Chains A and B, each alone.
Chain A
Amino acid sequence: MSRASETRLTRLSTTAAAGTLLWISRTSFGLLASYPLLLAIRASAMTAGPDGDTVLFQPGSLLLLELLRLGGAWLSSAAELSLLLLGGFAIFELIPLAIALDFLVAPERRWRERVARAMRYFPKFLGLGLIALLAQAALLLAASLLSAAAKPMFASSDERVRSLAPLALLGLGLVACGAFGGVLDIARATLIRRDVEAGGARAALAQAVDCFRQQPLRVLLGPYPSVAGSAFAVLGATWVLLRFAPSQSSNAALVLSFGAHQLAMLFAIAWRVRWLRGALELSAESD
């Protein structure tokens, strides 16, 4: 086997390993977070009939609306709990993310060491995440304030401009948030790649910002395939299920639905891992 093909194989296997790890963590956290909602729905008795929970997905949604009417209060409590759990798990997902990045940096490292490193970097990842979150919240707030301030400017315009202009400003805010997310990923990659310890988060963020200054287009467009690919995967899975799924009530429909949804998830994760590798490369180039 040539050196080039060996490198390709290694890249492929590390990408697969990192992706699988992220999928496992997302699936585990997803199962746990959705459990309160599942319990609440099962407790409603709407799914206790001979057709089980398929009645909730009948055309017209008569019984789905009945579930919402009868169980609105406790369903919303369960949904709140599920969202709270999701928020918590989103924080804990930093650990598998650190492990995945470590995988891409040093495929040969032992698992125990990898996990220990991820745990060590957790507070720094958390700190970086909080900074990014604050910055993104500020960007969105600025965008919405700007759109509110600009509203009178469009008062005499036609209805389309009046309704689209604030959305466009908000969209710009979202693009800026995306760019900041890209910078954050480069900072995380720097942290893992350079194995920086004390004061590392600040240095990593500074290097990531520097990297953005040097190569703004690469940082801005780097996550674009990942974001657009995720949207494509989700919509594609829905399209496949609508076109090819047998009747909602069959076991085959359940299997096909699970398969299509998880394939979409794996596809999205694969593109995310591709971007994480790109972030590592960008970080290395800015040393």
Chain B
Amino acid sequence: MRRVTQDLLIGAVFSALSGWLLNTLLLGAGTPKATYAQPKAPETAWPALSEGAPKVASYTIDAKLDSEQHKVTCRETIQFVNRSSAAVGELWFHLYLNAFKNDKTLFLRSPFGAGRSGDKAKAYGYVDVKRLSIRGGDGQDLWATRDRHSPDDPDDETDLRVPLPNPLEPGNELTLELEFEDQLPELVERTGFVGSYHFVGQWFPKLARLEPNGTFAHFSFHAQSEFYADFGDYDVTLDVPSAFRVGATGSRTREERDKGRTRLGYRAENVHDFAWTAWDQFETRNERIAGVDVRVLYPPHQEQNAEAELESVRFALPHFNARYGAYPYPTLTLVHPPESASNSGGMEYPTLITTGGPWYSTYGGGHFIDVVTTHELGHQWFYGLLASNEHTEPYLDEGFNSYAEAEALEARFGASSVFGGFGSSVSSTALNRLFSAARGEDEKVNQGAAEFATFRSLGALVYSRTATVLATLARVYGSERFNHALGVYARKFRFQHPTTSDFMSVMQSELDSRAVTALTLALSERATIDYLVREISNAPISAAAGVFDGPNGREQRKPEAPHEAAQYSSRVVVYRHGTLQLPVEIELGFEDGTKQRRHWDGSGFTFNADNLGPSRLVSVNVDPEQRILLDTDRSNNWLSIQGNSAPHVRERALYAAQLLLGAFGP
């Protein structure tokens, strides 16, 4: 018995110590600093911040949720102002929810294996518009005159045209009144129900964005696409069972309880969408951060995830404020869906974002919660305030936001922004570069979401490659200068719908034409760059030998034997493959331990790095600071004639093999 007790005690002590070490190794490496250094405001003045957008489409919606049937019965009023330069004779409505009506819609017939979630609908969803009329008109039901399907697609009803009885002249406005009912699908992608959990996004008949020339930017809902809409004000009343907790876009303005139901009023100004969620099991946390009332809704027993999300906002909100201009809304709502409804996670809506992750997300060295929260928060700028067309130019929001996310995470966690533990780390920049390099030449980045061959291709190019292109420019021009340029873009086009040319004009004025050329080539023409070296040559210098005819007649000079003390003429040729031109540093290493730097502006296809000196050239390293993240192959960036024994790899490989033998051997 004494032996048993002894073994138990020793084992318990070792186990306790191992637990402590495990905790230290996994959590210690990624523990954020208590106070964060935020970016300093640059000397130059920022463009003045716009306080709001010219309202084009404002919505008032009264919605009642049937939580048993998963139906939402609504009355909707749209106040529409023609701010274009042409008369408008028709309206285009997006009925995104019809994407889940049957398996033949454009969305559901898409190759889902390569879609965002990879899931198909289990219970279908749709929106039934009962009536559409113009307030103050003749009472005609305009919905009866609509086109029955999306243009050129008889199986899809997500993009419908409604002719107006009379054209609406520029500057005039009209008020539309609708009645409709949503049947929510079982959660497919971001919208629907799972049990009593409801996430209601893209749920109401919504006008397509009216472009300045009087045409509507309308499109059918494609599985790879996101959205595009005009700014306006939203007044929404949600009628839900009283047991449910609700999170929604905007600020809560009123709450009335009656007969087991609660009516909640929400108002959001200068936004272009409205989403909400209702669940009878939500827990909540509230905190005021950087002057914003932040609310987290999360599943039971996930306090740690909620705290991690708040901690991310505590860092990222002031960070993004400094980088891209102050967040202009009084509230921010974070929704952490339950694991069974993870398809509604990782999405952005104005003043409301969804995060996600299982209950153990904060254990270990991964920063999943921080990554997703920071990314979705960044969308409040690159999507929310800079409301680019996500259908035709998705990289302007997802790509720029991926860069913003990586920049913020690395400011917070350093190199371990994605993972940090056991002495190893993975950064967002490294991960973006990995995906970017793997698929960089598959397709061009700057194309419509529906044009990408697969969602994986879109993911690698729109998210990762764009972020890598921007990170390369930040490293080449200096991060402060580049981030300032991006900050100018974000401020100048706040509450607008910027396009690629708007972005390029800012890069032209804040950086230079070379940056614009590089961006255009990299984003629109699949341009690549690969610096490489092939060999190092050293020739001992001796007096020239041979037959020389001089003023004193013919002279014959014999070759001198080279000796140790002679000078060496060294050369390495650096090649540039691909059509991108970016300046690069070249580091030369000599036998006596000295190093030299050469600068190549990237023009031409080759660069001769020559040296005349007492020591032989033994190594070359092109781009030693790894500024050119777009370099397609980093393994050919260097050479050394001093051997390649890889002792650190050998040591770790031996240790790993010993551990495996110990674990699985006899």
The answer to whether A and B come from one shared complex is yes
- Complex contact B14–A59 (CB within 8 A): no
Q: Could you say which residues of chain B place their CB within 8 Å of the CB of A52?
A: 640, 644-648
Q: Could you say which residues of chain A place their CB within 8 Å of the CB of B12?
A: 228
- Complex contact B7–A94 (CB within 8 A): no
- Complex contact A50–B430 (CB within 8 A): no
- Complex contact B666–A86 (CB within 8 A): no
A44 CB to closest chain B CB, in angstroms? Answer: 6
Partner of A235, one of B18, B438, B662: B18
Whole-angstrom CA separation of A27 from B654 in the bound complex: 7
Whole-angstrom CA separation of A94 from B655 in the bound complex: 20
- Complex contact B339–A159 (CB within 8 A): yes
Partner of B638, one of A48, A60, A242: A48
A273 CB to closest chain B CB, in angstroms? Answer: 13
Known contacts: A228-B11, A229-B10. The answer to whether A47 contacts B644 by CB under 8 A is yes
Whole-angstrom CA separation of A59 from B410 in the bound complex: 12
Interface hit among A107-115, A196-204, A217-225: A217-225
B407 CB to closest chain A CB, in angstroms? Answer: 14
Tell me the residues in window 614-663 of chain B with beta carbons closer than 8 Å to chain A beta carbons.
618-621, 626, 633-640, 642, 644-662
- Complex contact A65–B426 (CB within 8 A): yes
Known contacts: A60-B429, A69-B438. The answer to whether A44 contacts B658 by CB under 8 A is no
- Complex contact B649–A56 (CB within 8 A): yes
Q: Could you say which residues of chain A place their CB within 8 Å of the CB of B664?
A: 86, 90
- Complex contact A93–B359 (CB within 8 A): no
> Does B243 count as interface, using CB distance less than 8 angstroms?
no
Partner of B634, one of A50, A63, A86: A63
B282 CB to closest chain A CB, in angstroms? Answer: 14
Q: Which residue of A lies closest to B419 (CB)?
A: A61
Q: Could you say which residues of chain A place their CB within 8 Å of the CB of B300?
A: 158
A175 CB to closest chain B CB, in angstroms? Answer: 12
- Complex contact A30–B434 (CB within 8 A): no
- Complex contact B633–A228 (CB within 8 A): no
Q: Could you say which residues of chain B place their CB within 8 Å of the CB of A42?
A: 644-646, 649
- Complex contact A268–B662 (CB within 8 A): yes
> Does B250 count as interface, using CB distance less than 8 angstroms?
no
Partner of A34, one of B4, B15, B626, B657: B657
Q: Which residue of A lies closest to B428 (CB)?
A: A60
- Complex contact B360–A163 (CB within 8 A): yes
- Complex contact B666–A97 (CB within 8 A): yes
Whole-angstrom CA separation of A224 from B342 in the bound complex: 40
Known contacts: A129-B666, A232-B14. The answer to whether A50 contacts B649 by CB under 8 A is no
Partner of B423, one of A160, A217, A242: A242
- Complex contact A61–B634 (CB within 8 A): no
Q: Which residue of A lies closest to B340 (CB)?
A: A159
Q: Could you say which residues of chain A place their CB within 8 Å of the CB of B14?
A: 225, 228-229, 231-232
Q: Which residue of B lies closest to A30 (CB)?
A: B657
Q: Could you say which residues of chain B place their CB within 8 Å of the CB of A30?
A: 654-655, 657-658, 661
- Complex contact A239–B661 (CB within 8 A): no
Q: Could you say which residues of chain A place their CB within 8 Å of the CB of B262?
A: none
Partner of B25, one of A83, A230, A242, A272: A242
Whole-angstrom CA separation of A45 from B637 in the bound complex: 9
- Complex contact B10–A47 (CB within 8 A): no
The proximity string for A residues 79-91 relative to B, scoring 1 for CB distances below 8 Å and 0 otherwise, is 0001100100110
Tell me the residues in window 138-173 of chain A with beta carbons closer than 8 Å to chain B beta carbons.
158-160, 162-163
Q: Could you say which residues of chain A place their CB within 8 Å of the CB of B17?
A: 232, 235-236
The proximity string for B residues 1-36 relative to A, scoring 1 for CB distances below 8 Å and 0 otherwise, is 001100110111011011001101100010000000
- Complex contact B666–A94 (CB within 8 A): yes
- Complex contact A60–B665 (CB within 8 A): no
Q: Could you say which residues of chain A place their CB within 8 Å of the CB of B339?
A: 159, 162
The proximity string for A residues 161-197 relative to B, scoring 1 for CB distances below 8 Å and 0 otherwise, is 0110000000000000000000000000000000000
B357 CB to closest chain A CB, in angstroms? Answer: 11
Whole-angstrom CA separation of A163 from B299 in the bound complex: 15
Known contacts: A221-B7, A242-B25. The answer to whether A258 contacts B638 by CB under 8 A is no
Q: Which residue of A lies closest to B22 (CB)?
A: A235
> Does B338 count as interface, using CB distance less than 8 angstroms?
yes
Tell me the residues in window 39-61 of chain A with beta carbons closer than 8 Å to chain B beta carbons.
41-42, 44-54, 56-61
Q: Could you say which residues of chain A place their CB within 8 Å of the CB of B433?
A: 62, 65-66
> Does A238 count as interface, using CB distance less than 8 angstroms?
yes
Tell me the residues in window 130-173 of chain B with beta carbons closer than 8 Å to chain A beta carbons.
none
> Does A248 count as interface, using CB distance less than 8 angstroms?
yes
Q: Which residue of A lies closest to B417 (CB)?
A: A60
Whole-angstrom CA separation of A114 from B314 in the bound complex: 67
Q: Could you say which residues of chain B place their CB within 8 Å of the CB of A242?
A: 25, 29, 423
Known contacts: A52-B647, A53-B648. The answer to whether A159 contacts B358 by CB under 8 A is yes
Whole-angstrom CA separation of A159 from B342 in the bound complex: 12
- Complex contact A160–B359 (CB within 8 A): yes
> Does B301 count as interface, using CB distance less than 8 angstroms?
yes
Known contacts: A48-B640, A50-B621, A60-B425. The answer to whether A26 contacts B662 by CB under 8 A is yes
Whole-angstrom CA separation of A107 from B658 in the bound complex: 26
Known contacts: A47-B646, A49-B621, A61-B427. The answer to whether A27 contacts B10 by CB under 8 A is no
- Complex contact A238–B422 (CB within 8 A): yes
The proximity string for B residues 416-444 relative to A, scoring 1 for CB distances below 8 Å and 0 otherwise, is 10000011111101110110011000000
- Complex contact B301–A159 (CB within 8 A): yes
> Does B52 count as interface, using CB distance less than 8 angstroms?
no
Q: Could you say which residues of chain A place their CB within 8 Å of the CB of B646?
A: 38, 41-42, 47, 52-53
> Does B415 count as interface, using CB distance less than 8 angstroms?
yes
> Does A234 count as interface, using CB distance less than 8 angstroms?
yes
Q: Which residue of B lies closest to A96 (CB)?
A: B666
- Complex contact B648–A254 (CB within 8 A): yes
- Complex contact A231–B430 (CB within 8 A): no
Q: Could you say which residues of chain A place their CB within 8 Å of the CB of B328?
A: none
| Most-contacted residue by chain A among B300, B422, B657 (CB, 10 A) | B657
- Complex contact A54–B666 (CB within 8 A): no
Whole-angstrom CA separation of A69 from B660 in the bound complex: 25
Q: Could you say which residues of chain B place their CB within 8 Å of the CB of A51?
A: 621
A158 CB to closest chain B CB, in angstroms? Answer: 6
| Most-contacted residue by chain B among A27, A86, A225, A278 (CB, 10 A) | A225
Q: Could you say which residues of chain A place their CB within 8 Å of the CB of B619?
A: 49-50
Whole-angstrom CA separation of A218 from B2 in the bound complex: 10
- Complex contact B633–A62 (CB within 8 A): no
- Complex contact A93–B301 (CB within 8 A): no
- Complex contact A56–B666 (CB within 8 A): no
> Does A119 count as interface, using CB distance less than 8 angstroms?
no
Q: Could you say which residues of chain B place their CB within 8 Å of the CB of A228?
A: 10-12, 14-15, 18
Whole-angstrom CA separation of A125 from B240 in the bound complex: 69
Q: Could you say which residues of chain A place their CB within 8 Å of the CB of B431?
A: 65
> Does B602 count as interface, using CB distance less than 8 angstroms?
no
Whole-angstrom CA separation of A257 from B657 in the bound complex: 15
Whole-angstrom CA separation of A242 from B25 in the bound complex: 9
Q: Which residue of B lies closest to A71 (CB)?
A: B635
Q: Which residue of A lies closest to B422 (CB)?
A: A238
> Does B448 count as interface, using CB distance less than 8 angstroms?
no
> Does A31 count as interface, using CB distance less than 8 angstroms?
yes
Whole-angstrom CA separation of A56 from B415 in the bound complex: 14
The proximity string for B residues 561-597 relative to A, scoring 1 for CB distances below 8 Å and 0 otherwise, is 0000000000000000000000000010100000000
Q: Could you say which residues of chain A place their CB within 8 Å of the CB of B656?
A: 34
Q: A56-B648, A242-B25 are in contact. List 4 more A-B contacts (CB 8 A).
A: A41-B649, A47-B646, A224-B8, A239-B24
The 10 A-B residue pairs with the shortest CB-CB distance in the complex, in nearest-first order: A49-B638, A59-B415, A228-B14, A224-B11, A60-B427, A30-B657, A50-B619, A60-B415, A34-B653, A235-B21
Please list 25 pairs of residues, one from A and one from B, whose beta carbons are closer than 8 Å in the complex, sorted by A's number: A26-B658, A33-B657, A48-B638, A49-B638, A50-B620, A60-B427, A61-B424, A62-B433, A69-B434, A86-B661, A159-B358, A159-B359, A218-B7, A222-B7, A225-B11, A228-B12, A229-B10, A235-B18, A235-B21, A236-B21, A238-B21, A239-B21, A242-B423, A254-B648, A257-B648
B residues sitting closer than 8 Å to A (CB atoms) are 3-4, 7-8, 10-12, 14-15, 17-18, 21-22, 24-25, 29, 299-302, 338-339, 358-360, 414-416, 422-427, 429-431, 433-434, 437-438, 587, 589, 618-621, 626, 633-640, 642, 644-662, 664-666
